[in-house]
Structures are given as structure tokens and as C-alpha cells.
Amino acid sequence: MIVAGRARGVRARLGLKTCALLAIGAAGCAQVPVLQGVAEVEANRAVAALDQAGIAARKEADEGGGTGGPQFRVVVGTEEVARSVTVLHGHGLPRREEPGFAESYGAQPSLVQSASEERARSAQSVAGELARTLESMDGVLDARVHVALASAEDRPLDGRDAPRPTASVLLRHIGARSPIDEGAIRRLVAASVVTMRADDVSVVTVSRPPPTAGEARLSYVGPIAVARGSASTLRAVLAGSIAVNVALAAGLAFMALRKRKDDDEPEGDAKR
């Protein structure tokens, strides 16, 4: 009975030690969000960009992301937060969502719209759709489009033709050369606005060096090489496993010694 009670006490202490070690291991696996409240397509882009840079990232549903469709967040290890932010900034993520036709005309309009207000909403929607089209092309990080529509009020009194609508495009891209020819951009924009010509479109391109990809930045935990973001997790798991095994071995040895001592006591009493 005494041995059984002591064995239960040892097992209870070992259980508490094991839970504490598991809690330490869980702390070593902490994840921190670097993007929150974004659409799934933006979360997928972020995970892909981080993966190319050798950073382990995971996409999760963001319950507190607000309304307007499913929202997601991207989490990484605590050691990779700073580098993740740098990588996402280098890829221009998350991209800004420009309002298109659905957003501009889906909102509640004023009861009485003036001609200038209607013209401004139309220009905003056309610019938003053009920006989305340009950003969908490979190599484009960000696109801003501004459209200025002419009105009948702008017609000169001397009978000359009214000024044509104009547009300007600011394009940020990866690499030294723009992935889209400036002439093609002008034709694309001009074809989207009535009476606009390609000469009425101004294009400014800004290049950004391509972000470093495939740089895993390995760390070594003994003879094992792992990604730097997984090194702390592996250390915590190994340390926890070793500590649990040591605690179990010590407990078993203690129980064996106590049992041997208890077995030797009756023999000593019988000899006396």
C-alpha cells in the first residue's frame, strides 16, 4: 500500500512536469499575424511571397475582420515578423482595393445628383476598373489611375471643340523594365473613355528591384538544418522531449529503489 501510494505521487508529479514542458513548447510555437482583415486572394498572395522568401506562413480565417465578405489573416513565427513585413512591403502587399463600378454605383447615392457629381462618380469607377486591370498583369505591384472627364460646360464660347478627357497612370513594377509597354497602357486607357485618345494619357512608371526569393536562411539545431522560423519550435520540442525522458527515467529509478528497500525490510526483520 505504501509503495502504491508513493508510485501514484510520483506519477502525479511527472504529469505536472510534463504539462509544464508542453506549455513551454507551445510558447515556442507562438504565431503572430502580419496581415489581418484582407480578402482571400490577398492572403494567398502574401503566403506565396513569404514562402518564396523561405518564411513559413499560414492563412487563417479572421473572424473579427469586419463585414464585406470573408476576411483572412496571415500568421508567421515570432522570429520572422520583421522580415515578413519587409518581404510584404517589397511585393506591394496588401494591395489597395480601388473602387470600381460596383462600389461606386452600389453605394447609396444622394437624392439629387448634380452633373458634376455624376461625372466624378463615373470617372472614379472607370479609374478603379483600369487600376484593377493593370494590377492583374504579372510584374505589376501597384497601379493608380486618374481620369478627368470633360463636360459640355467646358465648351469654349468661340465655338471651338470642348477639351477632351485626360488620364494619368502611375505604375509600380518589379525589375528594371516595365512589364507593360507604355504605348499599350495608353491605348488601354484611351479605349475605356469616350473621345479619349492615346495622346491624352500620361504614364509614369516606377521600378523596384525584385525581392530576394528562395533564400531559406537555414539555422542549425545540432546536426539538423531547418528554416530559421522553425528553429525555436524544434528547440522547444527537443528540450521538452529530453526533459520528459529524464523525468521519467528518474521517477522509474526512484520507484525501483524504494521497492528494493521495502522488499529488503521484511528480510531484515525476519533475521532479527
* Confidence band for 185, pLDDT divided at 50, 70 and 90: very high
Give the per-residue pLDDT at 238.
78
Give the per-residue pLDDT at 225.
64
- For the stretch 212-255, pLDDT in tens is 544 455 566 666 666 666 666 777 777 778 888 888 888 888 88
pTM greater than 0.85:
no
Cα end-to-end span (Å), the chain: 24
> What is the largest distance, in Å, between two alpha-carbon atoms of the chain?
135
Cβ atoms of 36 and 73 within 8 Å: the answer is: yes
Q: Is 202 helix (H, G, I), strand (E, B) or coil?
A: strand
C-alpha span between 21 and 9 (Å, rounded): 19
| Torsions phi, psi for 204 (to 5 deg) | -125, 125
Write down the mean pLDDT value for the chain: 77
Q: Give the mean model confidence (pLDDT) for residues 66-91.
A: 84
Give the per-residue pLDDT at 196.
93
* DSSP states along 222-255: TTEEEEHHHHHHHHHHHHHHHHHHHHHHHHHHHH
Q: Assess whether pLDDT exceeds 80 at residue 101.
A: no
Q: Assess whether pLDDT exceeds 60 at residue 107.
A: no
C-alpha span between 229 and 75 (Å, rounded): 12
Give the per-residue pLDDT at 93.
85
C-alpha span between 226 and 100 (Å, rounded): 45
Provide the H-helix boundaries in the chain: 2-28, 40-52, 81-90, 101-106, 115-135, 182-190, 228-271
Give the per-residue pLDDT at 1.
47
52 closest CA partner among 88, 16, 11 = 88
C-alpha span between 16 and 22 (Å, rounded): 10
Q: Give the mean model confidence (pLDDT) for residues 4-20.
A: 51
Give the per-residue pLDDT at 106.
55
